[in-house]
A and B are shown apart, each in its own frame.
Chain A
Amino acid sequence: MIARMLDGVPGRGLAVLAGLLAVLLAAPWVANDYVLTVLIIVLYSAYTGQAWNVMMGFAGQLSLGHAIYVGLGGYAAAALYVHFGVAPWLGLVAAVAIAAACGAVIGFLAFRFGVGGVYFAILTIAFAEFARIGFDHFRWVGASSGFFLPVANYTRNDLWNLRGDPTMFYYVMLALTVAAFAICHVLLKSRIGYYWQAIREDEVAARSLGIDTFRYKMYAIVLSAGMTAVAGVFFAFYYNNLFPEQVFHISRSIEMILGPIIGGIGTLFGPLVGALLLTGLSEAMQELLTALRLDVPGAKQVFYGLCLLVVVMALPGGVWPWVAGKLGLTGPRS
C-alpha cells in the first residue's frame, strides 16, 4: 500500500512533501492563535478543494454548487448532536450518507438525461440555491435565524464530541487533509482514476472503449459529495453556528473551487497550493490595507479580484504545474 502510494514520485518531491508535513505538524507550537486560525482556513480550503477536484479535476464534471454538500453535512451532524446528543463522529456517518445520496440524486438526474457542461454546472447551482431557500424555512434547524451548537468553556479537549481549542481542530483538519490527499493519490493511480481521466478528456472516446461512463461519473459525484460533507461537519463544530444564507450561498461554492483552479486543476497539489496562495493573499491584503489606512469595505475584494484576474490570465493551467515545472518536481505524472 505504502509502496504503491510512493510509486513514481520523484525523490525531490518526497523530500518537499515530508518537509511540508513536518512544518504543518509542528506549527501549533510556534504559531500564535491568529496564525493557527489562518492555517485552519488554509487546510479547510485545501480539503474542500481536493474533494471538489475529484469531480471536476479528475472526472471533468463542473460542479458550481458544492456548498450544498457542506451544508447538508454540517446541518445533519449538528442536528443529530443538538437534538439527540449523537457524537459528531457518529453523526458524520449520517452526514456523509445524506450528502452522498443528494449527490447521487443530482448525478442520476443529470447524467441520465445527458445534462452536461454549462447546463450541469447551472443545475448544481440550482440545487444548492434550492437547499438554501429550503433551509431558510426549515424550522427544526432554526430556519433563517440560524442553528447554534452549545458553546461553553471547555477545560479539556473532547475529541469524541469535537469540543475544544483551536489546536485540536487544527490537527483534526490536518488529518482530514492528509487523508484526502492520500485517497486522491491512490485513486488517481487506480483503474477508476484512469477511467475518470479518460472521461474528462473525451467522454465519447471513453465510452467507445467500453467504460461505463454513467457509473464512473456517479462514483465521482458520490465520492466528492461524501468527502465535502465531512468538511461540513467540521465547519459546524468549529464555528458552532450554521446559517442557510452563509453555508449554502453560491459564494461559498465559488470560494471552494477557486483554490483548485488557481492552484492547478486535476493535480494533487493544486488544491493545497491554491488554498495557501488565496488565503495568504487575502490575509496579506488585509494587513497591507490596514497599514495603508485604505481599509474601506470592499477594497480587499477588489484587489483579490484583480489578483485572480492576473493569475488566470497569465497561468491558464494553474500555479502548481508551473511551479512544479520550474522546480523539477514533476514525476512521470504530477
Chain B
Amino acid sequence: MAAEIYLNVAVSGLLTGLVYGLMAVGLSVIFGVVRVVNFAHGEMMTIAMYLAIVLFNGFGLDPLIMVVPLAAVLFALGYAMQAGIINPFITRPEHSQFILLVAMALIIANVLLIVFGPDARSVQTPYSFDSFLVGPLIIDATKAYAGAATVVITAALFGFFRFAPLGKAIRACADNYTGALVVGLNVKRLYALTFGLGAACVGAAGSMLVLLVDVTPALGPALTLLAFIIVITGGLGSMPGAVLGGVLIGLTEAMAGLFFTPSAKSMFSFALLVLVLLFRPQGILGKRPS
C-alpha cells in the first residue's frame, strides 16, 4: 500500500516536472544562443497563463487546445522583445542585461496586477478530476495530457535545431558569434527568432501549467527561479538536460512534499542545485565549458 502512494506521487511529480522542463527548455534555448539570462522568464510565463485563463473563461477555449496559438503569441512577444530592446544589450556586461530584464519583469508583473488584480486564478476543465487507472497507479488525466504534449513539443524543437536549416543557422550563432557573422548570417534576426522560440516554449508550458497550479501576478519570480534551478541542474544550453532537470526537480519536490512538509519542498530543489553547481558546474548533461 505504502509503496503505491510513493509510486503515485512519483508519477505525478514526474509529469508536473515535464511541464516545468518545457518552461526551462525555453530559458536554456535563450541562454544557449543569445547568452542572455532571461530574468523575466517567469513573468512571461504568467502572461501565457493569464491569456489561457482569459481565453477559457471568455470563449470556453480549452487550455490544451490553446497550447499552439499561445506559443505563437508568446513567440511574437519574444521576437519583439529581443529585436526591439535586448539586441543592443548583447555585448553589454551581465549586470546591465540583468537590470534590463528585471525592469521588464517588473513592468509585466505590475501590468498584470493592474489588469487582473491580486487574486489567484485557475481553470476548471471537464476533465479536471479524471484519471487513468494503470495497474496500481492512478494517473491524473490533466497531468498525463500535459506531460505528453511536453514530450511532443520538445521533440519537435529538438528536431528543428538538429535538422532544419534555420535551426542549424541558430546553432552556428551559438557556437561562434563572429564566425556566424562572417558566413553572412543575420545574427540579430536569428537571436530574435531564438528568443521567440524560447518564449514559445513558455507560451506552451504556461497554457498547460495553468491546469496544474493557480496563477497570481506575483508568481513570476518563483517560476523564474524554478527555471534557473532546472536549467542549471540539467546543464545550461542543453535541451535534453532541461527536460531531465525538470523531471528531477518535479520528482524531488513531490517526494519532499511527501516525506517532509510541502512548504519546505523548494529547499530540496535548492539543495540539489547547490550540489550540482559545486560538483558538476556545467550541469548533469551540460558540456564542460571550454
Q: What is the total number of residues of chain B having a CB less than 8 Å from a CB of chain A?
A: 43
Q: Nearest Cβ in chain B — how far from A182, in angstroms?
A: 25
- Asked whether A302 lies within 8 Å of B95 as measured between CB atoms, the reply is no
Chain A 92-109: CB-based contact to B (< 8 A → 1; otherwise 0): 000000000000000001
Q: Does A312 contact B (CB under 8 A)?
A: yes
| Segment with Cβ contacts to A, from B62-70, B198-206, B269-277 | B269-277
Say yes or no: is A130 at the interface (Cβ < 8 Å to chain B).
yes
Cβ B228 vs Cβ A125 within 8 A: yes
- Do residues B277 and A118 form an inter-chain contact, with CB atoms below 8 A? no
Binds A, one of B14-22, B157-165, B258-266: B258-266
Given contacts A117-B94, A119-B281, A122-B232, A127 and B274 within 8 Å (CB-CB): yes
Per-residue CB contact flags for chain A residues 247-268 toward chain B (1 = under 8 Å, else 0) read 0001100100110011001000
- A residues within 8 A CB of B273? 122-123, 126
Q: Which of B198-235 contact A (CB under 8 A)?
A: 217, 221, 225, 228-229, 232
Kindly list chain B residues whose C-beta atoms are within 8 Å of the C-beta of A299. Answer: 110, 114
**For A121, what are the chain B residues with a Cβ–Cβ distance below 8 Å?**
37, 94, 98
- Please determine whether A305 and B94 come into contact, CB atoms closer than 8 angstroms: no
Taking a contact as CB atoms closer than 8 A, the residue among A130, A305, A313 that contacts B110 in the complex is: A305
Stretch at the interface among A13-21, A133-141, A145-153, A216-224: A133-141
Question: Closest residue to A251 on the B side, CB-wise?
Answer: B221
Report if B137 contacts A (CB, 8 A).
Answer: no
Is the C-beta of A62 less than 8 angstroms from some C-beta in chain B? yes
Q: Is the CB of B95 within 8 A of A298?
A: no
Q: Are A129 and B100 in contact (CB under 8 A)?
A: no
- Contact mask for chain B residues 238-250; partner A; CB cutoff 8 A; 1 contact, 0 none: 0000000000000
B100 and A313 contact, CB distance less than 8 A: yes
Looking at B48-56, B101-109, B127-135, B174-182, the stretch in contact with chain A turns out to be B101-109
Residues of A within 8 A of B109 (CB): 298, 301
Q: Is the interface of A mostly helix, strand, loop or mixed?
A: helix
The answer to whether B232 and A308 have CB atoms under 8 Å apart is no
The smallest C-beta distance from A282 to any residue of chain B, in angstroms, reads 12
Contact B278 A308 (CB under 8 A): no
**How far does the alpha carbon of A115 sit from the alpha carbon of B281 in the complex, in Å?**
7
Tell which of A64, A109, A298, A301 touches B98, judged by Cβ atoms closer than 8 Å: A64
Interface residue A8 (Cβ < 8 Å from any Cβ of B): no
Flag whether B136 is at the interface (Cβ < 8 A): no
Is A114 within 8 A of B281, CB to CB?
Answer: yes
With a cutoff of 8 Å between Cβ atoms, the chain A residues found around residue B94 in the complex are: 62, 117-118, 121
A306 adjacent to B267 (CB under 8 Å): no
Residue B152 at the A interface, CB < 8 A?
Answer: no
Q: Provide the residues of chain B in CB contact with A119, threshold 8 Å.
A: 232, 236, 277, 281
Contact between chains at A134 and B267 (CB < 8 Å): yes
A250's partner among B95, B225, B261 (CB-CB below 8 A) is: B225
Asked if B277 and A136 make an inter-chain contact with CB atoms under 8 angstroms apart, the answer reads no
Cross-interface CB contact of A297 among B96, B105, B114, cutoff 8 Å: B114
Contacts of B100 in A (CB 8 A): 309, 312-313
Q: What CA separation (Å) do A298 and B232 show in the bound complex? A: 32
How far is the CB of A286 from the nearest CB of chain B, in Å? 14
Contacts of B113 in A (CB 8 A): 297-298, 301
CB-based contact A130/B114 at 8 Å: no
Minimum CB–CB distance from A25 to chain B (whole Å) comes to 32
Complex Cα gap A134–B270 (Å)? 11
The minimal Cβ–Cβ distance linking B45 to chain A, given in whole angstroms, is 16
A171 within 8 A of B: no
- Asked if A316 CB lies within 8 Å of chain B CBs, one says yes
Interface centre among B111, B279, B281 (most CB of A within 10 A): B281
Given A250-B221, A313-B88, A308:B106 Cβ within 8 A? yes
Residues of B within 8 Å of A304, CB to CB, are 106
* A134 contacts across to B, CB distance below 8 A: 267
How far apart sit A126 and B274, CA to CA, in the bound complex (Å)?
A: 7
Known: A123-B277, A126-B229, A302-B106. 6 other contacts (CB 8 A): A133-B264, A133-B266, A250-B221, A301-B109, A302-B110, A304-B106
Closest 9 CB pairs of A and B: A298-B113, A305-B106, A298-B110, A305-B107, A308-B103, A301-B110, A133-B267, A309-B103, A130-B270
17 residue pairs of the A-B complex, CB under 8 angstroms, read A62-B95, A109-B274, A113-B278, A119-B232, A121-B37, A121-B98, A136-B264, A137-B261, A254-B102, A298-B113, A298-B114, A299-B114, A302-B107, A302-B110, A305-B106, A305-B110, A309-B100
